[in-house]
Amino acid sequence: MSNQKKKTLTPVQQEYQSFAQSREPKRSVVHNCFTAFVVGGTICLLGQFIQNFFIWQFGFTKETAGNPTVAVLIFLAALLTGLGVYDHFAQWAGAGTAVPVTGFANTIASAAIEHRTEGFVLGVGGNMFKLAGPVIVFGVFSAFVVALIKTILTSLGG
Amino acid sequence: MEIYVWAFVVGGLICVIGQILLDVARLTPAHVMTILVVSGAVLGGFGLYDPLIDFAGAGATVPITSFGNSLLRGALAEADRSGLVGILTGIFEVTSAGISAAIVFGFMAALLFKSKG
């Protein structure tokens, strides 16, 4: 709560605010980082196993195996989101589940499921990218700018 | 065998960066993911992301930073072939699998499951 807002409160309310603050569970940054490291690392490890499986079984190369791996992880994340497991797990793991591509799939699947009651076109279709949209918009725009700069620089240099 | 260790360590460290942005900078998850995607594209622009993929495998391709780098790679590859307009036509070339899979499986999840909340 901002200081400006605090001034308008009565003394009793102020007292309650500081009381509530002291009772808030402390979020330890170190502990959260450790959890994020282990969970995120494990998801990437799983990705590596899937990637090597594609290389050995289906003859993908190291460069092309990334795509089917991401697709499999997204499938797993959508399934676990539907079963209600992923969000429960994400609450505990923080960035460990949000940063890998599974977190991206989770935001899409959970938004789709959540807005299903509003209908398939306006609910599911309209809200699916509510959370994932910013990632795509900023990703595409920044990639566009960087690619434009690089292409112009190479055409000037060569 | 070594690749598994580096996948775990590098992937974990990228998640730690995300966690620090969440806890210390107090950003929302959407802001953190956006920042990571943009940094992936910028790192790719300096030619730093592909060496990281060589070194850490899935540790670099699974985190969302890889999405920014893949967008850039598709755009640059197509720009090489067909000039400036290739940036627009190629930008989703590499990431197509990820976005299509997310839409298809996300929609199927909405068909099959009901909200628990």
Q: Give me the interface pTM, i.e. the ipTM.
A: 0.93
CB contact under 8 A, B41 and A139: yes
Would residue A1 count as lying in a domain?
no
Number of domains in chain A: 1
Q: Would an 8 Å CB–CB cutoff place A135 in contact with chain B?
A: yes
Would residue A62 count as lying in a domain?
yes
Residue B113 phi/psi, 5° resolution? Answer: -115, 150
Token digits for A50?
A: 């899937």
Token digits for A19?
A: 């009381």
* B40 pLDDT above the threshold of 50: yes
Closest by alpha carbon to B32, among B11, B56, B16, B48?
B16
**Alpha-carbon distance A157 to nearest alpha carbon in chain B (angstroms):** 14
pLDDT tens by residue, B69-82? 999 999 999 999 98
* Residues of the domain holding A84: 27-129
Q: What is the pLDDT of residue A48?
A: 95
CB contact under 8 A, B75 and A147: yes
Task: Give dist(CA B16, CA B93) in Å, integer.
Answer: 29
Would residue A72 count as lying in a domain?
yes
- The angle subtended at Cα A118 by Cα A115 and Cα A119, nearest 5°, is 105
Output the pTM of the full model: 0.87
Q: Which residues of B are less than 8 Å from A50 in CB distance?
A: 58
* CB-based contact B54:A61 (threshold 8 Å): no
Task: Give dist(CA A127, CA A114) in Å, integer.
Answer: 9
Would residue A3 count as lying in a domain?
no
* B61 pLDDT above the threshold of 50: yes
Q: Which residues of A are less than 8 Å from B97 in CB distance?
A: 67-68, 70-71
pLDDT tens by residue, A115-154? 999 988 999 999 999 989 999 999 999 999 999 999 999 8
SS3 category, A132 = coil
Cα separations in angstroms, A151 against A19, B29, B93, B117: 58, 32, 17, 48
